[in-house]
Structure 1
Amino acid sequence: MEFVIKISQFLLSLSLLIVLHELGHFIPAKLFKTRVEKFYLFFDVKFSLFKKKIGDTEYGIGWLPLGGYVKISGMIDESMDKEQMAQPPKPWEFRSKPAWQRLIIMLGGVTVNFILAYFIYVFLAFGYGDTTTKVSSLKDGYWIENQLLKDIGFQTGDKILKVNDLKVINDSDIRSNIIGAETITIQRNGVEKVITLPEDFLGQFSSAESRQLFERRIPFMIGAVADSSLNKTADVKPEDIIIAIEGQKLRYFDQADAIMDNYKNETLSVDLLRDNDTITRELKVDEKGNFGFYPGLDYKRFAEMGYYDIATQTYTFGESWAEGGRDFVETVTKYGVQLKAIFTPSTGAYKGVGGFKAIFDIFPPVWSWQAFWVLTAFLSIMLGVLNLLPIPALDGGHVMFLLYEMISGRAPSEKFLERAQLAGFIILIIMVLSANINDWI
């Protein structure tokens, strides 16, 4: 069921973004009386799942979910239709239109991507507001489980004060600013310390077994009992919280390992908090020092128990337009920093570039409209920015040649554009293959 929910969100988001992006090309093409021969969701290699011709345009759904396209008459694109290009230009063809009209047609897709992301952020601000956790409320610092962070010098209990010179106010500030960070200032046992990140930190992080960064310290809440657990028949329930083991108080989940390592293959007396009552159960520890429980998460309850403070900021409809704009600009800026890191080999960030599996994995296993729209807004920005890269076969490549034509007063030859398109297509294939290979290594 989790797979069905994730794949449904993935395909819905992808389909929405593709259709709207291609609509961004389609509408100005029609406004400038340019013939659009095809409008496809996904690629129709050899055959289509569905197609219907209305007027001059064939609308359809392909079987290969790697994107979508509009085929515009008289344009050198991925179709490489040399036969059409060999004919004299027709008035309804792309190549017959003024350069400024062609530029608007080519920029239409990314423009829609950015407008869509902005509107999503506006309505997210209005519908959900902002929920933040102040780092000052995390009295006992962060949970450090990732071995890479431990090797660099971080320890559980560290409080994060700054990322580079940026003072950390909210918990989300750490993750959103970690890309490109060189130093992190912490406080440990009341003493400030600056930890320098290795230049290839992002590359090492991408290759690490754990993808956890600085996690909030939470109680040992039981989420579910594993089928292989020795405590499968024990009287424990989801949302029970373990508060003591053999009389030793347990405030945080991360404290359990140090206690239970001393009791492998034994039966222990465990105090549980169930609702507001404390109960005691005898639980078995396996040879690895585990109870066999999956952890549970209930951030609202943890906040009510005093583990941290959650603040919610609401916005009126009018205020949401400004707040949505701030979220949009911040996301675009941070994605630009991320892209710069990816194209800087010394950072190793390219190792973390993922393909379709990576995108699929970021969707939650439970249906959440808030999470769906947050991820769709980010993917829309990502699609817009990537399409602006000056690579032939992408919108940015076409824009680059059009700007050259408008500045110089002469267009590149069709032969040159055909070769550039082919080269760009090869570059794209290599990039897509590399990203998707990264998903599995």
Structure 2
Amino acid sequence: MDWMVMLAQLLLSLSFLVAVHEFGHLLAAKYFGMRVEQFSIGFPPKLFSFKKGETEYALSAIPLGGYVKISGMIDESLDTEAMKLAPQPWEFRAKPAWQRLIVMLGGIFVNVIVGILIFIGITYVYGESYILKDAVNENGGYQVGPVGESLGLKTGDKIIKINGQDFEYYEDILTPATLLSTNGTYTVDRNGQLIEIAIPADFIEKFNKKSSARSFIAPRFAPIVGEIEKGTIASKILKVGDKVVEINGQPIQYNDEVISTVKAMKNDSASAKSDSLLLKIERGGEVLTFKEYFRNEKSIGFYADPKPFIDKAEKKITYGFGESIPKGTEKAFSTLAVQVKALSRVVTGAISPQESLSGPIGIMQVFGNEWDWSRFWSLTGVLSLMLAFMNLLPIPALDGGHVMFLSYEIISRRKPSDKFLENAQKVGMVFLLALMVFIFANDIIKLF
């Protein structure tokens, strides 16, 4: 069932973005008097279509894309027979180069505008929520997982600077801008001693592996029972709101200590102590003690509730509509800049393509198995901006390839031959097909 929720979000997001992208081409083409033969969301076979005026509007079966068919244009259809006929006034090829250039930029322009509008809307509707760094450090610092430990961090560390600069929010530690910074560092307070932890250039790759982002660092918080698993020890003895204070004589202050103490018990399988769990909890001002058989158990069976900590540490910022416009626009372009920087690292070889590139399966997992509109629109906004950028790349078969040839025509006043454009389109399609196969295969490999 989880995969259906993820797939539904992916298809809705991509269908929306493809529709607005191709609609940008359609509007520009019709404005300049070009005939638009077909507008399709998805690739054939067609599921449903209707005709309005000269244009057939279709919904097709393969949802990962779409197209708009403009008369007299060498595109994915490679309709070379029509190109052998004399140009007609309503055809793409009969129009001035500057008009054709605007048509090709239409989809890119609309994706940029949509991406900006999404970020403005998110800023206005949801505002911003941050965990204050000082609140985390005052509460015992960070719980560090395997990814953080590989960097040299330890549970209880307090991060006080990023790249030598003070910062305000816990989220600043995790931003792609921080993880992609050149010669980046975390300054850590470890039991009163300041330590510099270097951030390797390829460190961000670890966050593309399953569950790695969650095993980096997180604020420590008290072991207050929030959710109880059925059929576990917790389901027999604990109640929501209980606070664990001691396990087998070991005082407990943070939730990560519950996890580490239980793990140590399981590793100490030769000891008779590992057979029993002596648990002290605080409930309604009383301290209660429970002793349970533990030999065959994997965990106590509860999830700690971070809400009491978040209520104290969280800072919420709301924006009026007027304030949301510059703030959302800034977010959109800063997000795009980070994505472009990451892509440049892949191209230069600083980051492994296998670890960093994700296709539909990877993106589907980012949407998550619960429908969260804030996350859905945030990711859709990022995808809209990245779709605009990727389409602007000078690769034949992409809008950027057409833009490149049209720019050459405008500057040189010489139009490339239809045969050259046809062959360039074929080469571009082969390249893109090979890239899609690589990305799909990479997605599948990363699942295992």
Normalising by structure 1, we get a TM-score of 0.89
Conserved? CA contact 1:40–1:69, under 8 Å: yes
Conserved? CA contact 2:164–2:187, under 8 Å: no
Residue 34 of structure 2 is aligned to residue 34 of structure 1: yes
- Residue segments in structure 1 that go unaligned for 5+ positions in a row: none
Matched residues in 2 for 1:20 and 1:382: separation? 14
**Correspondence for 1:404:** 408
Q: Please give the per-residue CA displacement for 1:278-306, whole angstroms capped at 9, x wherever unaligned.
A: 6554445355752244x3554x43223x5
Conserved? CA contact 2:14–2:64, under 8 Å: no
Matched residues in 2 for 1:358 and 1:224: separation? 29
Q: Please give the per-residue CA displacement for 1:95-154, whole angstroms capped at 9, x wherever unaligned.
A: 1111111111111111111111111221222212111112122122222212x4323322
Instruction: Please report how far the alpha carbon of residue 313 of structure 1 lies from its aligned counterpart in structure 2 after TM superposition.
Output: 1.1
Instruction: Please report how far the alpha carbon of residue 82 of structure 1 lies from its aligned counterpart in structure 2 after TM superposition.
Output: 0.9
Conserved? CA contact 1:40–1:59, under 8 Å: yes
Root mean square deviation of aligned Cα? 2.6
Instruction: Please report how far the alpha carbon of residue 233 of structure 1 lies from its aligned counterpart in structure 2 after TM superposition.
Output: 5.0
Q: Please give the per-residue CA displacement for 1:33-87, whole angstroms capped at 9, x wherever unaligned.
A: 111111111111xx21111222221111111121111111111111111111121
Matched residues in 2 for 1:375 and 1:196: separation? 29
**Correspondence for 2:388:** 384
Instruction: Give the alignment partner of residue 190 of structure 1, picking from 185, 188, 192.
Output: 192
Secondary structure of 2:196's counterpart equals: strand
The amino acid that maps onto 2:310 is A
Question: What aligned pairs does 1:132-281 form with structure 2 within 5 A after superposition?
Answer: 132-139=130-137, 140-146=140-146, 148-176=147-175, 177=177, 178-187=179-188, 188-203=190-205, 206=208, 210-212=212-214, 213-220=216-223, 222=225, 224-225=227-228, 230-231=232-233, 234-237=236-239, 240-264=242-266, 265-272=274-281, 280-281=289-290
Identity of aligned residues (%): 38
**Correspondence for 1:285:** 294
Instruction: Give the alignment partner of residue 54 of structure 1, picking from 52, 55, 58.
Output: 52
Conserved? CA contact 1:391–1:397, under 8 Å: yes
Matched residues in 2 for 1:394 and 1:67: separation? 12
Residue 309 of structure 2 is aligned to residue 302 of structure 1: yes
Matched residues in 1 for 2:86 and 2:342: separation? 45
Conserved? CA contact 1:225–1:232, under 8 Å: yes
Secondary structure of 1:234's counterpart equals: helix
**Correspondence for 2:379:** 375
Instruction: Please report how far the alpha carbon of residue 349 of structure 1 lies from its aligned counterpart in structure 2 after TM superposition.
Output: 5.1
Matched residues in 1 for 2:431 and 2:212: separation? 31
Normalising by structure 2, we get a TM-score of 0.88
The amino acid that maps onto 1:218 is F
Matched residues in 2 for 1:239 and 1:364: separation? 28
Matched residues in 2 for 1:203 and 1:411: separation? 44
Distance change >3 Å, CA 236–CA 38, structure 1 → 2: farther
**Correspondence for 1:77:** 75
Instruction: Please report how far the alpha carbon of residue 22 of structure 1 lies from its aligned counterpart in structure 2 after TM superposition.
Output: 0.8
Instruction: Please report how far the alpha carbon of residue 311 of structure 1 lies from its aligned counterpart in structure 2 after TM superposition.
Output: 0.7
**Correspondence for 1:92:** 90
Q: Please give the per-residue CA displacement for 1:5-29, whole angstroms capped at 9, x wherever unaligned.
A: 3333222212111111111111111
Matched residues in 2 for 1:430 and 1:318: separation? 45
Distance change >3 Å, CA 290–CA 23, structure 1 → 2: same
Conserved? CA contact 1:37–1:57, under 8 Å: yes
Secondary structure of 2:81's counterpart equals: helix
Distance change >3 Å, CA 109–CA 209, structure 1 → 2: same
Higher helix share: 2
Matched residues in 1 for 2:143 and 2:381: separation? 30
Matched residues in 2 for 1:65 and 1:274: separation? 53
Matched residues in 1 for 2:114 and 2:245: separation? 47
Distance change >3 Å, CA 273–CA 328, structure 1 → 2: farther
Matched residues in 2 for 1:408 and 1:276: separation? 83
Matched residues in 1 for 2:326 and 2:261: separation? 50
The amino acid that maps onto 1:428 is L
**Correspondence for 1:429:** 433
More divergent stretch after superposition (262-271 vs 383-392): 262-271
Secondary structure of 1:347's counterpart equals: coil
**Correspondence for 2:107:** 109
**Correspondence for 1:5:** 5
Matched residues in 2 for 1:275 and 1:430: separation? 63
Question: What aligned pairs does 1:287-366 form with structure 2 within 5 A after superposition?
Answer: 287=296, 290-293=299-302, 295=303, 298=306, 300-304=307-311, 306=312, 309-348=313-352, 350-366=354-370
Matched residues in 1 for 2:195 and 2:234: separation? 45
More divergent stretch after superposition (7-16 vs 412-421): 7-16
Q: Please give the per-residue CA displacement for 1:385-409, whole angstroms capped at 9, x wherever unaligned.
A: 1111111111111111111111111
More divergent stretch after superposition (411-420 vs 1-10): 1-10
Matched residues in 2 for 1:356 and 1:222: separation? 37
- Residue segments in structure 2 that go unaligned for 5+ positions in a row: 267-273
Q: Please give the per-residue CA displacement for 1:299-358, whole angstroms capped at 9, x wherever unaligned.
A: x43223x5xx11111111211112112211211211121111121213225522111111
Secondary structure of 1:75's counterpart equals: coil
Q: Please give the per-residue CA displacement for 1:243-279, whole angstroms capped at 9, x wherever unaligned.
A: 4323433232221243224534533232445688765
Secondary structure of 1:324's counterpart equals: helix
Conserved? CA contact 2:120–2:329, under 8 Å: yes
